[in-house]
């Protein structure tokens, strides 16, 4: 079954959304890397054990937040891919 012009436009719009989500995903992964390096440097540069413990916990929390955002973007991509699949079927 051939797709109507409206359906093709809708799919094109969804593909643009997916590209935006992929760019966001790439930025989140880069942010995760920078955040991890930053906290690692703070942990290495301090000699106070309480500060090290605090930095480690802050690092874990920050990375978990970024991981949650990454999973959210992946879910957004899957959701939009399902929309495209439903239009084509």
Instruction: Tell me the backbone φ, ψ of residue 55, rounded to 5 degrees.
Output: -65, -40
Query: Is residue 2 pLDDT above 90, yes or no?
Result: no
- Please give the pLDDT value at position 11: 96
Could you tell me the residue ranges of all domains in the chain?
Answer: 5-88
Q: 3-state DSSP call for residue 4? A: coil
pLDDT tops 80 at residue 1: no
The helix/strand/coil state of 49 is helix
Mind listing the pLDDT tens digit for each residue in 3-32?
Answer: 899 999 999 999 999 999 999 999 999 999
Q: Token digits for 79?
A: 């959701």
**pLDDT at residue 36 is higher than 80:** yes
- Tell me if 52 sits within 8 A of 43, measured CB to CB: yes
Other CB atoms closer than 10 Å to residue 3's CB: what's the count? 12
Checking if the pLDDT of 46 tops 80, the result is: yes
């Amino acid at each position: 079954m051939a797709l109507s012009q409206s359906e093709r436009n809708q799919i094109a719009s969804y593909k643009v959304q997916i590209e935006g989500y992929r760019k966001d995903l790439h930025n989140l992964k880069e942010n995760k890397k920078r955040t991890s390096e930053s906290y690692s440097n703070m942990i290495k540069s301090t000699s106070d054990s309480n500060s090290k413990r605090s930095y480690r916990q802050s690092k874990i929390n920050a990375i978990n937040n970024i991981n949650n955002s990454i999973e959210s973007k992946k879910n957004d991509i899957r959701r939009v891919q399902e929309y495209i699949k439903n239009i084509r079927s």
